[in-house]
Every structure is written in C-alpha cells, then in structure tokens.
Amino acid sequence: MTVRRGMWLALVAVVGVMIVVLVIGSRPSRSISARADRLERQLACPVCTGESVADSNAPESRAIRADIRTRLRAGQSDAQIRAAYVHAYGDRILLTPDGGGLGVVAWGVPVVAVVLGGVGIAVMLRRWSRTPRLPASDEDEAIVTRAREKLA
C-alpha cells in the first residue's frame, strides 16, 4: 500500500469516527425541561425583534414559556406545539425554518454555495500546481547575470 493511499484511508477513518461521535452526541434529550428549552429557542418573541422566547423577558415570552411547559406535561409533541404557535402567530414566530419546502432552500443554498466554492478553489489550486513552469530563456539568464554582476 502506498503512503498516499494510507493517508486517504486514515482521513476516511477519522471522518467516519467524527460522524459517529457527532450523531451519538447530538441525540436530543427527551426530558420535558430539555424539550421546553429547545422549543423556547425555536420560537421568536412575538413583541421583540430578533429575540427568542428563551432570551426575552417580555411578558408575552414568559407566558409562552409557561404555556410550552404546560403543553409538554399534557403530552403534546414538539411538532404539535410548534404548529399551535404557527397557527396563533403565523410563520414569523419560527426562528428556524421548517424541514421542508422553502426551509430546505433557506438552509441548503448557503451550504451548497460554500461546498461548490471549496471544490472550485481546490480544482483551481490543483490545476495551478500542475501547470508547467516556463524555462528561462538565454535572454532571461543574461539579465540575471548582469544584475548579479552589478550587485557584486
């Protein structure tokens, strides 16, 4: 096995381990408190600009935080609670786009642009590194020799 192939296999192994660790570590907690915290961070304060319900101290946000916990204790799912708030306030209550339709585009386009930009840069660097260098002509050599003689 060549050194280059070994390095690629090591890179694939490291990336694989990182993906497994991220997937296992990103499993959301199912406790009421953790679910409430997640929902509070996903919902925008209805009277504040750019703040989540979790970050806002407005009376409306405090009421929503209490209502979320009441709904969770009543057995409602996260999706049902989000849907109830979307029904009451419209899509503007959501800080994060949903997982379908325009939400996928909103999150996907920047990621695709960054990946394509990285691939483009990698391709250009690879082409640039393989471009043959032009050899110095006799005239170029003469210019360098004269410059060295002046310095000496």
pLDDT tens-place string over residues 68-90: 999 999 999 988 999 999 999 88
pLDDT at residue 45 tops 60 = yes
For residue 31, the model assigns a pLDDT of: 82
pLDDT at residue 48 tops 70 = yes
Q: Pick from 40, 33, 74, 75: which is nearest to 57 by CA?
A: 40
Q: Structure pTM? A: 0.51
Cα 32 to Cα 72: distance, rounded to the nearest angstrom? 6
User: Going by C-beta distance under 8 Å and a sequence separation of 6 or more, which residues neighbour residue 54?
Assistant: 37, 40, 41, 61, 65
**Residue listed under structure tokens 């990946």:** 115
Higher pLDDT, 98 or 57: 57
Radius of gyration of the chain (CA): 29
pLDDT tens-place string over residues 108-139: 888 899 999 999 999 998 888 877 778 888 99
Structure tokens at 118: 């990285």
DSSP at 135: P
